[in-house]
């Protein structure tokens, strides 16, 4: 698969790029800074580095791996460059307060709002994978993926299967991203409470 | 522990009552129909059955196990009877459409909205446990519990630990119920897609 990782110089994007390159994918790391993208691509064993707009050309799947607060502006900015290429949304909006991490106050997921800005289909997933665990090898547990478009979801599942020790699982329609994104807050709280690197594994399938 | 299960004649409530009674808890099954509550209590090995309003008196924890669409009206109706006794909210709002199960369109969880109606603290949890799996014994996987009140959450965790094969885990503030309730839709979709009885296990702790 040819994959562009937009925001691929960040902790999560870079770890993901590394795992995908290792699995044999043709990976292009995108960044606002093309020079930095090239340096990081060399480090990660990725095929190439480029500006975000150049990175998304000619790939099968674009992973939007910028931080949550940059996800919507970046999607809007890259919409024409991405055109109808499927996108995988991996970010989660979190809010931190005294009691821990809180899920977003928005009723709709970041993935659903990203979908409105793009011409092609959006799938969402990998929210339970921490950058720290992905940096050292495949993440423990399963990769949950959701989406309304069959082709985008298939690509996202194929990608997910390469980066976890468990399975990539089809979690249903894109609206399920409300839960998957919210689980990031739960995972952050579990990590704080139990001093771990939590992931999610689905039992009983 | 003394536990009242409001809506304890439903599939989930009855299965929960059965597991708790088995674990040695003093369980009162509540129902709008007291006679039916008594019959089901005898079936489940619970200590007693009563009307919902009578069931919640003198217990340590009230489990609000009515169906999602009855959760808020039932909480409002029982608020004075429950008084300051901690409540565990286990219901999830789901919507079904062509593509599968969808999480709620509300930005706030059912548990947070239940909290507003009650005088005492609300914890939320056990959303990933299916009635069908709990009916035959402990559910596979972990019980995730969240809440803003330490005492209510402790009781909920103590209860959760008795009904799963895994652990009862503190998932942080009550707002995390947005994710936990939403995961019910994800689990329903996984069950349909992979013909299973999905539960959630947290890796890496």
Confirm or reject contact between A196 and chain B (CB < 8 A). yes
Task: Please list the residues that pair with B28 across neighbouring strands.
Answer: B4, B48
Outline where DSSP puts E strands in B65-167.
Answer: 87-89, 94-97, 100-103, 122-125, 143-147
Q: Identify the burial level of B69 via C-beta atoms within 10 angstroms of its C-beta, where 0-12 means exposed, 13-18 middle and 19 or more buried.
A: exposed
Q: Which residues of A touch B103 (CB under 8 A)?
A: 175-176, 178-179
B133-186, pLDDT tens digit by residue?
899 999 999 999 999 999 999 999 999 999 999 999 999 999 999 999 999 999
Stretch B14-20: mean pLDDT: 98
ipTM for the complex?
0.96
First to last CA, chain A: 27
Nearest by Cα to A108 from B68, B113, B94, B103? B103
Distances from the Cα of A141 to the Cαs of A46, A134, B130, in angstroms? Answer: 24, 11, 21
DSSP A76-89: HHHHHHHTT--EEE
| A185–B contact, CB cutoff 8 A | yes
Instruction: Give the per-residue pLDDT at A199.
Output: 96
Q: Which residues of B touch A189 (CB under 8 A)?
A: 146, 170-173, 176
Residue-level pLDDT at A98: 87
Interface residue of A179, A193, A197 to substitute, partner B, most B CBs within 10 Å: A179
CA distance B63 to B123: 10
CA-wise closest residue to B197 among B154, B153, B136, B149: B136
**How far apart are the C-alpha atoms of A24 and A47, rounded to whole Å?**
10
| Residue A67 DSSP class | -
Position B106 scores a pLDDT of 95
Residue B190 confidence (pLDDT) above 90: yes
Q: B8, B37 in Cβ contact below 8 A?
A: yes
Answer yes or no: do B179 and A103 touch at CB < 8 A.
yes
Contact B203 A204 (CB under 8 A): no
What are the tens digits of pLDDT across the range A167-198?
Answer: 999 999 999 999 999 999 999 999 999 999 99
**Cβ(A147)–Cβ(A61) below 8 Å:** no
At residue A99, the pLDDT reads 80
Contact criterion met (CB < 8 Å) for B179 and A173: no
Whether pTM > 0.95 for this model: the answer is: yes
B102 contacts A175? CB cut-off 8 A: yes
Q: Does the distance separating the beta carbons of A198 and B205 come in below 8 Å?
A: yes
């Amino acid at each position: 698969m040819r994959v562009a990782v937009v925001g691929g110089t960040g902790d999560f994007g870079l770890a993901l790029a590394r795992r995908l390159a290792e699995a044999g994918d043709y990976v292009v790391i995108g960044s606002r800074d093309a020079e930095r993208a090239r340096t990081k691509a060399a480090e990660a064993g990725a095929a190439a580095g480029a500006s975000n707009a150049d990175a998304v050309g000619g790939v099968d799947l674009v992973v939007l791996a910028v931080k949550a607060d940059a996800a919507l502006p970046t999607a809007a900015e890259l919409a024409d460059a991405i055109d109808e290429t499927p996108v995988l949304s991996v970010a989660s909006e979190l809010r931190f307060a005294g009691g821990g991490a809180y899920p977003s106050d928005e009723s709709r997921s970041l993935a659903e709002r990203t979908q409105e800005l793009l011409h092609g289909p959006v799938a969402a997933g990998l929210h339970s994978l921490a950058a720290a665990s992905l940096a050292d090898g495949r993440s423990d547990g399963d990769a949950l993926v959701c989406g309304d478009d069959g082709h985008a979801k298939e690509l996202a599942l194929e990608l997910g299967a390469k980066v976890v020790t468990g399975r990539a699982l089809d979690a249903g329609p894109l609206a399920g991203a409300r839960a998957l994104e919210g689980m990031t807050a739960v995972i952050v709280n579990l990590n704080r409470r139990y001093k771990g690197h939590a992931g999610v594994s689905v039992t009983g399938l």
